[in-house]
Chain A
Amino acid sequence: MNWAEFFHMGGHGFYVWGTYLIATVVMVFNVVLPLRRYRRQQQKLKQTN
């Protein structure tokens, strides 16, 4: 397959890749933030116990 064509998406590359980019960003944040909060609390409890 042709990569230039793939990224071009028939002239709609901005809209198609914009969709995948935004969904990725939002979904990654939704994993990272709760994980960080969880680890911080876990750390805190390990130190106090």
Chain B
Amino acid sequence: MFKWFFRLAAAKNFYPFAGKLLPWLTGLCIISLVYGLYLGLFNSPPDYQQGETVRIMYVHVPAAWMSMFVYAMMAGAAIVGLVWKIKLADTFVTCSAPIGASFTVIALITGSLWGKPMWGAWWVWDARLTSELILLFLYVGFMALQSAIDDPRRAARAGGVLIIVGVVNLPVIHYSVEWWNTLHQPASVARADGPSIDGSILAPLLIMAVAFKFYFFSVVLVRMRGSILEIEEDSSWIKEARI
């Protein structure tokens, strides 16, 4: 298992492997996205309090989950990159950042579009919103740091440390709705006593979350393959391989 894993960590082996995986991930993403959108827009009831705006949730909540999921994946890969000096892990971290930042932007903007009709304000400086904004700054800070350092190994190290330190923000985001008095509603899916929302609304939410996961892995593989072609430009395997 470990041997297989380390073999795969070589760009030469990872590149074709990712190429084979991609159509499957993309297919699963499209299927779950279409099904999730169908349920969310056509086959789920309006909320008894929030009316039709509940449909904003099918984008907002999965995007917010993804903003944290991608960050956690990056932190895990950053540790692997720092400890075992696996270049592919650094590539994954670098390629994930813009996608994670995009999900954070989607979560913030759609939250704003939901806040206006429900709370009467586009933005409030409440704990959940502020900690999610800090997450965006972490992503942007990481990308700025990476582009400011020329030596790729030093850039990976500095960026990795930033991402690992920033992990403290993840529990702050998750528990912000419990630790502070906030306008944002508390968790209704990831609860100790199980989800507190009806199946007809929970189903599209979870299917969209699955779709977003497949989306992330598809896009990150495309980015990684492009990045490998750039980094390994002069390697002999690229000259021999059918790219």
Contact = CB atoms under 8 A, between A and B. Distances in A.
A12 B226 contact: no
A41 B229 contact: yes
A22 B52 contact: no
B106 interface: yes
Interface stretch (B110-118, B123-131, B145-153): B110-118
Contacts of A10: 46, 51-53
Given A1-B42, A10-B52, A30-B219, A15 B98 contact: no
Given A30-B102, A37-B226, A12 B51 contact: yes
B105 A45 contact: no
A22 B46 CA distance: 21
Contact of B225 (A12, A23, A38, A46): A38
Interface in B208-243: 215, 219, 222-223, 225-226, 229-230, 233, 238-239, 243
Interface residues of A, number: 25
Contacts of B113: 15, 18-19, 22
B42 A9 contact: no
A9 B52 contact: yes
A27 B102 CA distance: 8
B201 to A, nearest CB: 15
A22 B59 CA distance: 10
A18 to B, nearest CB: 5
Contact of B222 (A29, A35, A46): A35
A27 B33 CA distance: 12
Interface string B53-82: 101100110010000000000000000000
B183 interface: no
A1 B223 CA distance: 41
A35 B227 CA distance: 11
A20 to B, nearest CB: 6
Contacts of A22: 106, 109-110, 113
A4 B212 CA distance: 29
Contacts of A27: 102, 106, 215
11 contacts: A1-B42, A10-B53, A16-B52, A19-B59, A19-B60, A30-B98, A31-B219, A34-B219, A38-B223, A38-B225, A45-B233
Interface of B: 42, 46, 51-53, 55-56, 59-60, 63, 98-99, 102, 105-106, 109-110, 113-114, 116-117, 215, 219, 222-223, 225-226, 229-230, 233, 238-239, 243
Given A15-B116, A38-B226, 15 more contacts: A9-B52, A9-B55, A12-B51, A16-B52, A19-B56, A22-B110, A23-B59, A23-B63, A23-B106, A26-B105, A26-B106, A29-B102, A42-B229, A45-B229, A45-B243
